[in-house]
């Protein structure tokens, strides 16, 4: 016997929310439920909404689109119903984001044929706290919000003045029920529209349910009706809707001796409450007097028009005004495209821990995490990044990635016992990370966690989380120590912080069930430095090289020097001893003279001007400028990703004179841009540069570096040959897609192994 799987039509009604719409659409494209179509109804938007929809269609995502000529949410929703061909019609706001299992969890409630409407729990703009769980409304449109008690059973039994209701941004209805009540009442241009639908379904004895785990994250974005501070800009539409609802439904109460008088008393109460609220805004200088009087006038006019419209209604179950034909006869159009195709495979829920994350932080771990997150999201996986917040804890959804920003100020009395003594600041951080992942486990679930060894962020997860936890290898405190004079010169800090971290790093290396290296060299270096026997431990240790997106700059132009012109030499990295820019400056003093002028661009953030290393770099740069008139040096400071791409694509030679790199993302970035590389023969860089793509030089050997620079400066053919070889090697080995495919296999194997045990 063939079992029919119910189909779902998801409707997004949008108006001037282009910046939010992308994420709303993407969250539906990422749904686990297979039988979905997506309908976007655009109101009379004046922003870039149509361009966003064209971008969505251009990406290969197959969606339905429609237009609503008026700023009327109920009319827009009816247009969505007319386009919908699914058994169940879902509604989510354009500033909402759906949990990946939102549709699936709600659809399971429709197995009961008496169910007419289903919603879920809605989480507010913080991504953490609830905006709404269970909702009960009365026939005046007043809502009571319950947190723990599901009122459905009692209200179904009593069937009185109150009824279960849903929030519009997290609601669904059987399509045949919507057709039976003639859809949304278009007199409700905004506010109480879904409440009216719930009441009419309830009066037809349709069950209205709330599924706790069916989450929608509601950003509650500003609009023409409210500011970013949620201050009303106009109250005409909600006031009209309130009065219309009360007169249409509340004034017909059978249990009230004088329902008309009671309804008008309710509108009087409502008007006073709104006036009091507006007066508070005025008294606290949130609005000007003109704004206050305008809002007051909005309420008076809205209530008056709503009463007039309500008196015209003769049947409280039928719709009032409705211009839209709901029986359009649309065909179901499955939501297909690259992202949906990946849903056939089992979605993994992967958590990456990284203090920084682009665009605010573009350091090595942050950039690697970003590349992993983007590439694995594109392969259909659900990616969460646990990063740092300087203000408060919040969760956001950006480009298909869940970003959990967590403050370090974790309460000391809530920190679990550490398996090894660590500095208090890092204990707070690691505890905050662990606590957020445990909280998220109850909302999304967790399959696997990857945390870097740096700053021990994953230590509490390794100790306490009952899920696969990977410790990813990067530069460690012990490996960084020789290049940290501020650590070496401060005995108290060395003893109380650095040495404790190094001991805890060794605990992580010995204890972690899974260790992921980005190069064989970092495994070897750490094995030697810590004496932890990782090299031959294939059960725990794996190596997957880093990868980056195959991106080119917007211009796509090759800005490299032509014969007889100045050459561009590029350095990218923080101005710190480990990155070794002083080695480049010392080598420049040793260059042989040539017919070329050399422009050196040094891209990277500076420490404070009092930093001793920064002072050394400044002194060396002045010396080069004074002694070598054929060399110019430009310090550009921090550069955005787009600017950095242009630097790579226009550089003739890239120099990475680091004293240590666990991998060297900067090297493959240069190779992606077709730039020949000179790098230190150290760490992961010696695995990337093989003689055909660039040159390796000894650390702290300016003569060797100068010799390689001279060789490439004077030989354009060699530069071109190495640049092309590097570009080919990058495409074959170091793209984000290659990395993501390996990571996916690695994570799947780990999860399956966990299931078997």
Residue 557 lies in a domain: no
User: What value does the mean pLDDT take over residues 706-731?
Assistant: 95
Question: Tens digits of per-residue pLDDT, 359-382?
Answer: 888 888 999 999 999 999 999 999
Task: Give residue 478's domain range.
Answer: 347-543
Say yes or no: 577 and 501 in one domain.
no
pLDDT band at 318 (very low <50, low <70, confident <90, very high): low
**What's the chain's average pLDDT?**
91
> What is the C-alpha separation between 500 and 459, in angstroms, rounded?
13
What pLDDT, on the 0 to 100 scale, is given for residue 223?
Answer: 85
pLDDT band at 58 (very low <50, low <70, confident <90, very high): confident
Closest-CA residue to 631 (of 656, 602, 657): 602
- DSSP for residue 494: I
Residue 299 lies in a domain: yes
Residue 746 lies in a domain: no
- DSSP for residue 405: E
Residue 521 lies in a domain: yes
Closest-CA residue to 609 (of 619, 623, 624, 599): 619
Say yes or no: 513 and 573 in one domain.
no
pLDDT band at 336 (very low <50, low <70, confident <90, very high): confident
Question: Tens digits of per-residue pLDDT, 555-587?
Answer: 444 556 554 568 999 999 999 999 999 999 999
Say yes or no: 625 and 729 in one domain.
yes
- DSSP for residue 126: T
Say yes or no: 176 and 55 in one domain.
yes
Closest-CA residue to 83 (of 72, 94, 91, 71): 91
Residue 688 lies in a domain: yes
Q: Which of 295, 311, 327 is the last residue of a domain?
A: 311
> Would you call 344 helix, strand, or coil by DSSP?
helix
Q: How many domains in the chain?
A: 3
Residue 695 has pLDDT above 80, yes or no: yes
Residue 216's CATH number: 3.90.550.10
Residue 561 lies in a domain: no
pLDDT band at 321 (very low <50, low <70, confident <90, very high): low
- DSSP for residue 110: G
Q: Which of 493, 527, 543 is the last residue of a domain?
A: 543
For the chain, what percent of residues have pLDDT higher than 70? 94
SS3 for 511-536 is: HCCEEEECCHHHHHHHHHHHCCCCCC
Say yes or no: 585 and 509 in one domain.
no
Say yes or no: 200 and 123 in one domain.
yes
What pLDDT, on the 0 to 100 scale, is given for residue 317?
Answer: 56
pTM of the model: 0.91
What pLDDT, on the 0 to 100 scale, is given for residue 607?
Answer: 87
Say yes or no: 433 and 400 in one domain.
yes
Say yes or no: 169 and 126 in one domain.
yes
pLDDT band at 255 (very low <50, low <70, confident <90, very high): low
**What are the φ/ψ torsions at residue 300 (nearest 5 degrees)?**
-60, -50
What pLDDT, on the 0 to 100 scale, is given for residue 555?
Answer: 45
Say yes or no: 594 and 537 in one domain.
no
390 compared with 362, residue with greater pLDDT: 390
Residue 661's CATH number: 3.40.50.2000
Question: Tens digits of per-residue pLDDT, 404-440?
Answer: 999 998 888 888 899 999 999 999 999 999 999 999 9
Residue 749 lies in a domain: no
> What is the C-alpha separation between 684 and 672, in angstroms, rounded?
17
Residue 752 has pLDDT above 60, yes or no: yes
What pLDDT, on the 0 to 100 scale, is given for residue 259?
Answer: 82
Say yes or no: 637 and 712 in one domain.
yes
Q: How many CA atoms lie within 13 A of 213 on its CB side?
A: 13
* Least confident range of 101-115, 134-148, 271-285, 590-604: 590-604
Say yes or no: 534 and 576 in one domain.
no
Say yes or no: 236 and 384 in one domain.
no
> What is the C-alpha separation between 565 and 634, in angstroms, rounded?
18
* Burial of 6 (C-beta count, 10 Å sphere; 0-12/13-18/19+): middle
pLDDT band at 609 (very low <50, low <70, confident <90, very high): confident
Structure tokens at 45: 């938007």
Residue 363 lies in a domain: yes
| Long-range CB pairs of 138-143, under 8 A, 24+ apart, other chains included | 138/162, 138/163, 138/250, 139/163, 139/199, 139/249, 139/250, 139/253, 140/245, 140/246, 140/249, 140/250, 140/263, 140/266, 141/192, 141/195, 141/241, 141/242, 141/245, 141/246, 141/249, 141/250, 143/195
What pLDDT, on the 0 to 100 scale, is given for residue 316?
Answer: 57
pLDDT band at 553 (very low <50, low <70, confident <90, very high): low
């Amino acid at each position: 016997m063939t079992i029919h799987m119910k189909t779902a039509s998801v409707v997004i009604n949008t108006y001037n929310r282009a910046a939010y719409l992308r994420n709303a659409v993407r969250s539906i494209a990422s749904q686990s439920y297979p039988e979905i179509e997506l309908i976007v109804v655009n109101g009379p938007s004046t922003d870039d909404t149509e361009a966003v929809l064209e971008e969505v269609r251009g990406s290969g995502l197959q969606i339905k689109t429609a237009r609503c000529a008026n700023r009327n949410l109920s009319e827009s929703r009816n247009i969505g119903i007319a386009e919908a061909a699914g058994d169940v019609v879902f509604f989510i706001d354009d500033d909402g984001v759906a949990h990946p299992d939102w549709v699936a969890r709600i659809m399971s409630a429709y197995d009961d044929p008496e169910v007419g409407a289903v919603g879920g729990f809605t989480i507010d703009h913080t991504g953490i706290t609830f905006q709404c769980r269970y909702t009960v409304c009365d026939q005046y449109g007043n809502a009571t919000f319950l947190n723990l008690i599901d009122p459905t059973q009692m209200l179904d039994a009593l069937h009185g003045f109150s009824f279960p209701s849903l929030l519009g941004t997290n609601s669904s209805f059987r399509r045949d029920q919507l057709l039976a009540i003639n859809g949304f009442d278009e007199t409700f241009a905004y506010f109480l529209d879904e409440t009216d639908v719930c009441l009419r379904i309830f009066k037809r004895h349709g069950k209205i349910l709330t599924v706790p785990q069916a989450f929608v994250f509601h950003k509650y974005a500003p609009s023409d009706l409210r500011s970013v501070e949620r201050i009303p800009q106009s109250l005409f539409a909600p006031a009209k809707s309130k009065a219309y609802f009360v007169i249409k439904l509340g004034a017909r109460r059978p249990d009230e001796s004088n329902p008309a008088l009671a309804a008008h008393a309710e509108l009087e109460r409502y008007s006073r409450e709104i006036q009091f609220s507006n007066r508070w805004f005025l008294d606290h200088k949130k609005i000007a007097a003109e704004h206050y009087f305008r809002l007051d006038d909005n309420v008076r006019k809205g209530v008056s028009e709503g009463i007039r419209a309500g008196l015209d209604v003769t049947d409280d179950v039928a719709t009032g005004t409705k211009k839209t034909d709901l029986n359009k006869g649309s065909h179901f159009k499955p939501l297909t495209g690259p992202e949906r195709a990946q849903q056939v495979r089992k979605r993994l829920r992967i958590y990456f821990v990284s203090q920084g994350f682009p665009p605010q932080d573009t350091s090595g771990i942050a950039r690697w995490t970003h590349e992993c997150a983007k590439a694995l999201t594109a392969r259909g996986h659900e990616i969460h990044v646990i990063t740092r917040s300087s203000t408060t804890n919040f969760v956001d959804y950006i480009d298909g990635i869940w970003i959990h920003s967590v403050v370090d100020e974790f309460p000391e009395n809530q920190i679990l016992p550490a398996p090894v003594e660590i500095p208090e600041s890092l204990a707070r951080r690691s505890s905050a990370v662990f606590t957020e992942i445990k909280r998220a486990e109850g909302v999304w679930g967790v399959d696997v966690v990857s945390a870097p060894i740096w700053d021990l962020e994953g230590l509490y997860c390794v100790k306490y989380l009952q899920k696969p936890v990977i410790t990813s290898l990067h530069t460690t405190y012990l490996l960084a120590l020789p290049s940290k004079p501020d650590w070496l010169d401060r005995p108290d800090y060395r003893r109380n912080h650095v040495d404790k971290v190094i001991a805890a790093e060794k605990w992580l290396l010995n204890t972690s069930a899974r260790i992921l290296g980005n190069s064989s060299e970092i495994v070897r270096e750490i094995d030697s430095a810590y004496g932890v026997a990782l090299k031959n431990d294939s059960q725990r240790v794996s190596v997957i090289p880093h990868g980056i997106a195959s991106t080119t700059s917007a211009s796509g132009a090759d800005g490299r020097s032509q014969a007889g012109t100045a050459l561009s030499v590029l350095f990218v990295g923080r101005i710190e001893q480990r990155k070794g820019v002083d080695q480049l400056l010392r080598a420049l003093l040793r260059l042989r003279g040539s017919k070329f002028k050399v422009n050196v661009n040094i891209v990277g953030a500076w420490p404070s001007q009092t930093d001793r290393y920064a002072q050394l770099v400044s002194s060396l740069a002045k010396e080069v400028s004074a002694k070598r008139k054929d060399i110019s040096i430009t310090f550009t400071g921090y550069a955005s990703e787009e600017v950095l791409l242009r630097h790579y694509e226009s550089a003739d030679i890239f120099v990475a004179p680091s004293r240590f790199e666990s991998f060297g993302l900067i090297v493959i970035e240069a190779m992606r841009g077709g730039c020949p590389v000179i790098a230190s023969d150290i760490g992961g860089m010696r695995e990337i540069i093989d003689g055909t793509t660039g040159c390796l030089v000894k650390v702290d050997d300016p003569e060797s570096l100068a010799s390689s620079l001279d060789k490439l400066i004077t030989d354009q053919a060699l530069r071109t040959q190495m640049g092309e070889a590097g570009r080919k090697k990058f495409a074959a080995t170091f793209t984000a897609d290659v990395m993501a495919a390996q990571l996916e296999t690695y994570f799947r194997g780990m999860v399956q192994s966990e299931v078997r045990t």
